[in-house]
Amino acid sequence: MNEDHSSRDWPSDPHMREVLQGLLDADVPQIYASGVNELRDRIREMRKNLPPGPEVETVTSFVVPTAWGGVPVRSYASEGSGGGVIVYIHGGGWVIGGIDESDGLCRYLARESGHEVISVGYRLAPEHRFPAAIDDADAVVSWVSRVYAKGRPLALVGDSAGANLVIGAARRARDRGNEPIDLQVLVYPVTDHRMDTESYRRFDVDGLLMVSADMRWFWDHYIPDAEDRATPDASPALIADLAGLPPAVLITVGFDPLRDEGVAFAERLAAAGVPVTTREYPQMIHGFLSMFARVPDAADAMKLIVAELTRALRAS
């Protein structure tokens, strides 16, 4: 293809422009124009082009028991790991992604933070629609808090749909009581099913890794029913009272349909008295976090996340 796309509504960051140009040159279709299995296969292939994460001493897979059969997880721990536990819940619009696709990122978090990381393989839509994903995420978080951590400090990390599930699990834990969570890290979280913000309108055009039509596609596969979408478990923006939720780190990016709802959620958390650290990367796109080995802003975001995790888990 090799067209000049300088006139597109693209980030000015040269590293990100190189990523986007590569996608265009490879004729990679938008998510909404793909079938589910086709998309999953493509994501797996794209992940192969990312460098592997660092070595960690112990990697263990097991299943967290649930009333519906269990949730697969993978634990990463470095030698001399600190006492904290980090539960990582991957993104992918509740439709794509998984433990294997998140391996490099989880290795990085475990190595750099010095704490154990548990990656959650929750059930995916459309085979398992709402509330399967939030039920799985909640079950793992609750089990880790009550059984596995045994009083160790606990943090949750999620990106995109994974951040949506982090918020839902944290809210359920708050409501049950006696399941303390010391920090929630929310990277471009999905918080509002209404999809009517200015950032949704701005990015309702093809050309980025994720555009507004892609997000509508994800919602349609995860929760086709309008009434189910309008619930706090699906749309954290509808949680009436945010007081008592864990302290949060919330990261947004400038080129993302989800940017505005993330900013709004951070403002509501702060208004409810929840300590919030915010960071925006104005020239980054949705999905940039996985590019931490080649995009400096993504590397900076990972360093911020590690620093906040280290501080929260050490202080607890």
- Residues with a catalytic annotation lie at 160, 256, 286
- The CA distance from 91 to 188, in Å, is 10
Strands 248-255 and 183-187 come out as parallel
| β-pairing verdict for 154-159 and 183-187 | parallel
The Cα–Cα gap between 193 and 16 comes to: 28
d(CA 144, CA 86): 10
What is the spatial distance between Cα 293 and Cα 194, in angstroms, rounded to a whole number?
34
Q: Which two tokens stand for residue 52?
A: 């592997």
Q: Which of 215, 222, 203, 220 is nearest to 285 (CA)?
A: 203
- Give the span between the Cα atoms of 19 and 49, in whole angstroms: 12
d(CA 122, CA 150): 23
